[in-house]
Amino acid sequence: MQMPFCLWDRNKAPPTPENHVAIHGTVVVSCHFGLSVPGKTTTLRLFSGTQIDHNTGKGRLSLEFPLRGGKKTKHGAGKTSTMTYQVTFFVDPDFGTPGAVVVKNGLKNDQFFLRHVQLQLAEDRGLHFECNSWVYPSKKTNSDRVFFVNTSYLPDKTPEALRLLRDEELRSLRGTGRGERKDWESVYDYDIYNDLGNPDKEDHARPALGGNAILPYPRRDGVTETRKHVINLDFYIPPDERFSPTKLAEVLTLAVQAVTHFVVPETKALLHGDAVNSFKSVEQLRRDLYGKATPEKPQPPAVDGMVMDKLRDSVPSHKTYKQVNKMVKETPVSSESSDGCGADDLEAWRTDEEFAREMLAGLNPVVIKRLEVFPPVSSGGKTSTITTRHIHGRLEGLTVEKALVQNRLYILDHHDYLMPFLKRINTLGVCIYASRTLLFLKDDGTLKPLVIELSLPGDGVADDDISRIFLPATQGPDGHLWQLAKAHVSVNDSGYHQLISHWLFTHATVEPFIIATKRQLSAMHPIHKLLEPHFKDNMQINTLARSILLSAGGILERTMFPGKYAMEMSSAIYSQWRFTEQSLPNELIKRGMAYRDGGGGLSLHVADYPYAVDGLDVWRAIEGWVRGYCAHFYHSDAAVAGDRELQAWWDDVRHVGHGDRRGDAAACWLELDTVAHLADSLTTLIWIASALHAAVNFGQYGYAGFMPNRPTRCRRFVPMPGSPEMAQMEADPEKFFLDTVPDRFTTTLGLALIEVLSNHTSDELYLGQRATSAWTDDGEVLLLLDRFREELRRVEKKVTERNGDPRLKNRRGPAKVPYTLLFPDVGNVGGKEKGSPERHTQQRLHLILVYMRAWTASSCYTYYYYKFNDYILDMIYH
Ligand SMILES: [Fe+2]
């Protein structure tokens, strides 16, 4: 019998009908930025979690009950707000305990964002249903949404009444693998990277990556489609993977400010013919990009009219535009910002000490290796042209052999992977070498560059590669040549950083894990709950990155040296990728930077290696949390091996998502047959998605914001002795240097990009944090999480102490900038540094939990940036 729910005052709790029990519920939805709210036509039902309806095999289902009232609450200085509704369910006395709620959106067109539902049971017991999901109109979806109670269940421990619902949910999320996705459908499936090129546009054809042995790649989410436009924004993304309205407004504001600050003055100058191709001097670069307004360089307008006009045409809704307009006016563009590298010493970037230090504590501290054989030998067996003669006498009294034995020689090797691509890359208007940089570990614990070898491939005849050797010098032509050689090394390292360390090893390789988690692990599964916060926003970020940064003609091709061969090169490197080697201890051992000591612990060859020292502390904290969490749910190895959802998840990851690495499966993956293997694999995944990403992402403005420190491409080779170019260099070395590194527009484009890449938004979550403690009802798990946070606070203390220890010279270096990229900052709320400026300080770059935040900002920013300026870019580049 239908309950007469419409007969009473909707704002008051109705009287309890005879022979029924009332369950009072609270429903909370987001309502800021003009989001739609449920309205009177939205209803809820309950599934019993304990009493089965034998006709359906599922829990007993209540009747539909409507929402009542609706009270608005503002949060966080009014940036977000929620609407709270009441609902009263009447159920039979033997209905049992609810295990799921069913939500039916009765609106005609609009979806709403449901945060959670809480039920108050008669026996004074509460139940929480964490939702955080878009609910689309049932007229579109032809189904209602089901949300489970926040209790974690392994599959075989699931209450009988919820088992069918659990399986149905997963089947629905996997989809049928057919047909075009609609906006309101929530389906997770695998696809190859077939959307990067545009075969109809000249020079914009790109090979599909993934699904074949020649060009292997991790899978992405989406459906197979052909790229039709340079900027294709019509990708399907499951609703719950899309940006929140808060984030959207904040990153748009950042984008407007960055474009106004950096790019608009430069594009106007280009349009008016006022700008020269290169900076005239480093001083001019510093003044034009970071300095105060002067008569020659007037302060940029607070908000550029063209930018706002283009924004209005580009944003999804007028409400969003109005919000951004308001936020931009409340936060005027700063006309002054610091360059990234030189905090105290503006010339620090030129020093050999800083050049070497950044290999241990910079933006890309994951490449340097211990040299085990001298001279270095390539993977193809060719020996380097570096000889003992080049480094003899500069090893603090050691012979080369002794230096090797004492683990004092190191190498930054950008040789082997680059050589096969260099001929093609150098047809793109750039002048790129493959490089090897040898370094010596001094008695004071710092590294000293010994020699740089720059190589070009020959004509294909055996051993005809062309290599040049450069030795450290500070004065005269040799000093200028050494600076140029270091710039070429930095270009190699910048490209590898952005394309491999950042994009491939943190963004792209994680996406298959997300798809597999959504397809194979129920929202009730404890491992799903453990991983979920690390996955937020990833899919939309990667999708936008493919569309704007990585695509043919995209910003990465236009600013980084590999150009249109970038993704092909990353595919070649992925062919060697192994998940097991991504754990921090294994990765350090593989590079020869660490070893297992007699007691099974890990020791570092370079004791003052800030990335590794801080990273291992964070790693151990994550490991402790994950091991405790896994042991809580799995009481035996057999429980892991017998978890059908978990095994299906791992099969998906290994055989589909990373299916192109199947040929190396035994080395790539641990078998999920023990609790220890499960914990190891999850620790590695969380490490990649949080700390590793933070280490290679959030220092981008700090280290690369000052272009001469990390140029992204070279326009000239190092001059040959006796050549006209050598004469030019000797006549004006600074001009030659600035003619070598990126031009003005590429520099400002890159600078605006990483300005947003390095920023945090207000809804950041940090390692150890959760948006709400109601994500689980398990008190023991919450205690484990408390212990994890305590451990992270101990790590914070140690990082702070190390940064204050003058004996640890690699932590601050000549620039006097402390290494804080792996500072957990577990107490931070809102993404802002307490007590420090909000803009352009490395000190605010922290370890972030939801690892894609910066990519969220960057991709969203570049989307709108590109929309504003694509006609300018096309004019310049085509
Ligand atoms: Fe990132």
Residue type, 734: E
Whole-number Å distance, alpha carbon 756 to ligand 1 midpoint, is 11
**Percent over 90 (pLDDT), the chain:** 59
* Residue 195 confidence (pLDDT): 84
State the residue range of the domain holding 552: 151-237+509-572
* Residue 692 confidence (pLDDT): 95
Inside any domain, residue 871: no
Q: Which of 719, 736, 754 is the last residue of a domain?
A: 754
Give the model confidence (pLDDT) of 331-343 as tens digits.
554 444 444 444 4
**Degrees to nearest 5, angle at CA 792 with 788 and 793:** 120
Whole-number Å distance, alpha carbon 693 to ligand 1 midpoint, is 6
Whole-number Å distance, alpha carbon 702 to ligand 1 midpoint, is 15
Whole-number Å distance, alpha carbon 438 to ligand 1 midpoint, is 29
Whole-number Å distance, alpha carbon 622 to ligand 1 midpoint, is 20
| Whether residues 736 and 767 fall in one domain | no
Whole-number Å distance, alpha carbon 81 to ligand 1 midpoint, is 28
Contact partners, residue 123, CB within 8 Å, separation at least 6: none
Whole-number Å distance, alpha carbon 498 to ligand 1 midpoint, is 9
pLDDT confidence bin for 8, thresholds 50/70/90: very low
Report the sign of the C-alpha dihedral through residues 869, 871, 876, 878, in that order. positive
Whole-number Å distance, alpha carbon 856 to ligand 1 midpoint, is 8
Q: Which token pair is 478? A: 């040799």
| Whether residues 145 and 155 fall in one domain | no
Kindly report the CATH number assigned to the domain that includes residue 417. Answer: 3.10.450.60
Q: Report yes or no: 496 and 683 within 8 Å, Cβ to Cβ.
A: no
Whole-number Å distance, alpha carbon 457 to ligand 1 midpoint, is 32
* Residue 293 confidence (pLDDT): 52
Top-confidence residue, 361 or 746: 361
Inside any domain, residue 405: yes
- Residue 499 pLDDT > 90: yes
| Whether residues 669 and 691 fall in one domain | yes
Whole-number Å distance, alpha carbon 542 to ligand 1 midpoint, is 9
Give the model confidence (pLDDT) of 18-66 as tens digits.
889 999 999 999 887 778 888 888 999 999 999 999 999 999 999 999 9
Whole-number Å distance, alpha carbon 549 to ligand 1 midpoint, is 12
Give the model confidence (pLDDT) of 132-187 as tens digits.
999 999 999 988 999 999 999 999 999 999 999 999 999 999 998 877 778 888 89
| 453 beta partners | 436, 469
355-385: b or e for each residue (b if 16 or more CB lie within 10 Å)? bbbbbbbbbbbbbbebbeebbbebeeebebb
Number of alpha carbons in the 13 Å side-chain half-sphere of residue 142: 3
* Residue 872 confidence (pLDDT): 34
Kindly report the CATH number assigned to the domain that includes residue 134. Answer: 2.60.60.20
Answer left, alpha or beta for residue 412, where phi above 0 means left and psi between -120 and 50 means alpha: beta
Q: Which of 132, 149, 166 is the last residue of a domain?
A: 149
Residues constituting the chain: 878
Whole-number Å distance, alpha carbon 245 to ligand 1 midpoint, is 20
Whole-number Å distance, alpha carbon 857 to ligand 1 midpoint, is 9
| Whether residues 102 and 39 fall in one domain | yes
> What single-letter DSSP state applies at residue 674?
S
| 29 beta partners | 83, 114
- Residue 198 pLDDT > 90: no
Inside any domain, residue 738: yes
Mean per-residue pLDDT for 312-325?
61
Q: How far apart are CA 399 and CA 432, in angstroms?
A: 33
Whole-number Å distance, alpha carbon 742 to ligand 1 midpoint, is 23
Whole-number Å distance, alpha carbon 638 to ligand 1 midpoint, is 37
Contact partners, residue 668, CB within 8 Å, separation at least 6: 577, 578, 579, 580, 654, 658, 661
* Residue 850 confidence (pLDDT): 30
Q: Nearest Cα to 543, choosing from 73, 858, 109, 314?
A: 858
Give the model confidence (pLDDT) of 238-262 as tens digits.
888 877 766 666 666 666 665 665 5
| Whether residues 378 and 452 fall in one domain | yes
Kindly report the CATH number assigned to the domain that includes residue 769. Answer: 1.20.245.10
| Whether residues 44 and 133 fall in one domain | yes
| Whether residues 402 and 423 fall in one domain | yes
Inside any domain, residue 120: yes
Whole-number Å distance, alpha carbon 541 to ligand 1 midpoint, is 9
Q: Which of 128, 149, 170 is the last residue of a domain?
A: 149
* Residue 484 confidence (pLDDT): 97
| Whether residues 174 and 216 fall in one domain | yes
| Whether residues 176 and 43 fall in one domain | no
Average confidence score pLDDT of the chain: 84
Number of alpha carbons in the 13 Å side-chain half-sphere of residue 208: 15
Q: Which token pair is 113? A: 């964002």
* Residue 593 confidence (pLDDT): 98
* Residue 257 confidence (pLDDT): 62
Q: How far apart are CA 543 and CA 553, in angstroms?
A: 16
Residue type, 574: Y
Whole-number Å distance, alpha carbon 455 to ligand 1 midpoint, is 30
Whole-number Å distance, alpha carbon 764 to ligand 1 midpoint, is 14
Q: Report yes or no: 865 and 857 within 8 Å, Cβ to Cβ.
A: no
| Whether residues 833 and 747 fall in one domain | no
3-state secondary structure of 413: strand
Inside any domain, residue 763: yes
Whole-number Å distance, alpha carbon 69 to ligand 1 midpoint, is 42
Distances (CA, A) of 13 to 2, 18, 26, 92, 126: 18, 15, 12, 18, 18
Q: How far apart are CA 846 and CA 828, in angstroms?
A: 9
| Whether residues 723 and 654 fall in one domain | no
Global pTM reads 0.89
* Residue 849 confidence (pLDDT): 28
Whole-number Å distance, alpha carbon 72 to ligand 1 midpoint, is 35
CA terminus-to-terminus distance, the chain: 70
Inside any domain, residue 246: no
The count of domains in the chain is: 4
Kindly report the CATH number assigned to the domain that includes residue 540. Answer: 4.10.375.10
Inside any domain, residue 273: no
Mean per-residue pLDDT for 347-370?
95
Top-confidence residue, 130 or 245: 130
Inside any domain, residue 672: yes
| Whether residues 670 and 784 fall in one domain | yes
Whole-number Å distance, alpha carbon 513 to ligand 1 midpoint, is 17
Mean per-residue pLDDT for 730-749?
89
Q: Which token pair is 327? A: 């936020």
Whole-number Å distance, alpha carbon 210 to ligand 1 midpoint, is 21
Whole-number Å distance, alpha carbon 697 to ligand 1 midpoint, is 5
Whole-number Å distance, alpha carbon 689 to ligand 1 midpoint, is 10
- Residue 233 pLDDT > 50: no
Q: How far apart are CA 787 and CA 798, in angstroms?
A: 17
Residue type, 323: Q
Whole-number Å distance, alpha carbon 170 to ligand 1 midpoint, is 29
- Residue 695 pLDDT > 80: yes
Whole-number Å distance, alpha carbon 845 to ligand 1 midpoint, is 13
Mean per-residue pLDDT for 288-316?
58
Whole-number Å distance, alpha carbon 232 to ligand 1 midpoint, is 21
pLDDT confidence bin for 835, thresholds 50/70/90: very low
Whole-number Å distance, alpha carbon 503 to ligand 1 midpoint, is 7
